[in-house]
Chain A
Amino acid sequence: MIDRREVIRMARLARLELSEMEIDQYQKDLTSFLTSGKKLQQVDVSRVEGTSHAVSVAHELRKDEVGKSLPQEAVLLGGPQVQDGFFRVPRIVEAQE
């Protein structure tokens, strides 16, 4: 069984607040998932490189031209909290003592 503290660490890395019940559940899920990973570790891959994309074509690069951007008002429309042309968020740095 994977360590419960490891599950809590993953949740923190993933910015997910989990309930005690969820931590229990994902502890089980992660453990059973590792069987899958262990199966792959039996495969001899010493002679191959990894594949990150299925079709190896040279990526077509477009010209770096200045295009039209979305208007600021339109982009701000989707924001949960907006003020003075900015997205407003809760405090991100600790206050100075």
Chain B
Amino acid sequence: MKKLAHLLETRQVSSKEIVEHYLGEITRQEPTLNAFITVDGDEALRQAEASDKRRAEHRPLSLWDGIPIAIKDNISTQGLKTTCASRFLANYRPLFDATVVSSLKNAGLPIIGKTNLDEFAMGSSTEYSAYGVTRNPHDQARVSGGSSGGSAAAVAAGEIPWSLGTDTGGSIRQPASFCGVVGLKPTYGWVSRYGVVALAPSLDQVGPLATTVEDAATLFSLLAGPDPKDATSAAARVFEVPTWDGEFIKGLKIGVPEEFFSKGLHPEVEQAVRKGLGALEEQGAILIPISLSTNDYAIDTYLTLVTAEASSSLARYDGVRYGERALALDSNTMFAKSRAEGFGPEVKRRIMLGTYVLSASHYEAYYEQAQRVRTLIKQDVLEAFKQVDVIITPTTPTAAFRIGAKQSPLEMYLSDLFTAMANLSGIPALSVPCGKDSRGLPLGMQVMGNHFSESLLFRLGHFVEKTVGIEGGAVGDKL
């Protein structure tokens, strides 16, 4: 991105030309890929022209002024359709921008469109989108992952240089891993969630996806910071893109949790991550075997909490003030019919499960119990960081699976086996490409750190990219 920024700064290329290039890629690839729900080429070109004018007048808004971006379609964009991949919001145009969108606009980034996801971010493959599945750019018979599958696939295919996703249990990292790009789930609270459609407010975070760690860090620097509109945003912390020297690796203590290298892990994934770990050790890092035994409960805890919070978050879709409404003679029937027609099967399933665990007779046994187990998980993770600087695991148990392969909901939920822990404990986690399997499918390494340690995660991720010589997995043309 630095190169692109330099070309813009020295007027060797215009923002309009860049946006035209990506719009061309989108037109060429979308018929098979389906990474976007909405593309707004006209508006992106208008924004690009405005950017070129600012550059001509020597008053760019930032170094990145004029470089376009794509936004996951559960993040509000004023006047631009935000469907959450749901029929319920098929024609919904937000009246305001999410704070992260304002930040990008304030830096001069043209917004090219909105990317596909599982409906309301509930899923791990985009197969639950009301607008069709997003195919994996590396193998069209396979999923791109989810829920931020559109954001990951668009970047991997070269339809856009970077994008925003959201991550509640792995929704940035898992598709990043499946598509061979970099994705960060930031520390809970470091990025504003104002204007981001809530799935599970105690777990949701917005984060960057890009082809390189440096680009992901650059994008994160535009997102991180406090927001008076989000009471859960962390007070007065600023993120600065780190320097990229490799000295820090000497003596860096890397925790390797045995529980993440056991049953359910595909041997080729294990091999790739172990190879990466070996290379880091050769460069001077110290590998320390650790135990995160509470990960055994992570998926069950996550499921209980995410369904409970989702059933509550989605109570607002009643067909009164926006969204689709079914015809009925009284309001209660109107609510129930509108919701029945507007929501897809996975959303209904989670609302049902969530309503069950929150209902008076089951609250204590399920919801409250899960909240307490969450405390044990968090303690387990924070205890580990007393011993080690970072923890490295595979991002996912397998490479991208085939479209239609996961038959039961529980099978699908297991995609989050290695990622949910970071959301439950609020820590940041970065997925970086770490090679490919024998079929040429990208594999990902997950680097987790203590709260607000993004800088270290990026430095390590960058080191993995450059020094260890593990190539990224983007397949698209790069400008």
Contact = CB atoms under 8 A, between A and B. Distances in A.
B105 interface: no
A10 B356 contact: yes
Nearest to A75: B95
B352 interface: yes
Interface range on chain B (Cβ under 8 Å from partner): 35 or more
In terms of DSSP, what is the predominant structure of the interface of chain A? loop
A40 interface: yes
Contact of B409 (A29, A45, A59, A75): A29
A55 B234 contact: yes
Contacts of A50: 368, 371-372, 374-375
Interface stretch (B53-61, B255-263, B279-287, B314-322): B314-322
A89 B330 CA distance: 8
B336 A45 contact: no
A90 B303 contact: no
Interface in B155-203: 187-189, 202-203
A57 B234 contact: yes
A87 B226 contact: no
B321 A15 contact: no
Interface string B316-342: 001111111100111111111101100
B226 A36 contact: no
A70 interface: yes
Contacts of B295: none
Interface stretch (B124-132, B387-395, B422-430, B465-473): B422-430
Contacts of A49: 372, 375
Given A43-B297, A78-B95, A81-B325, A37 B366 contact: yes
25 contacts: A6-B356, A14-B351, A18-B340, A22-B345, A26-B349, A26-B352, A37-B304, A39-B300, A40-B301, A43-B376, A49-B372, A50-B372, A53-B426, A54-B202, A54-B427, A55-B234, A57-B235, A61-B231, A74-B95, A78-B322, A79-B320, A79-B321, A80-B323, A90-B330, A91-B329
Interface of A: 6-7, 10-11, 13-18, 22, 25-26, 29-30, 32-33, 36-37, 39-41, 43, 45, 48-55, 57-62, 70, 74-75, 77-81, 87, 89-92
Per CB-CB distance, the 10 closest pairs between chain A and chain B, nearest first, are A54-B426, A50-B371, A45-B372, A78-B322, A80-B325, A17-B340, A17-B336, A62-B228, A48-B375, A36-B300
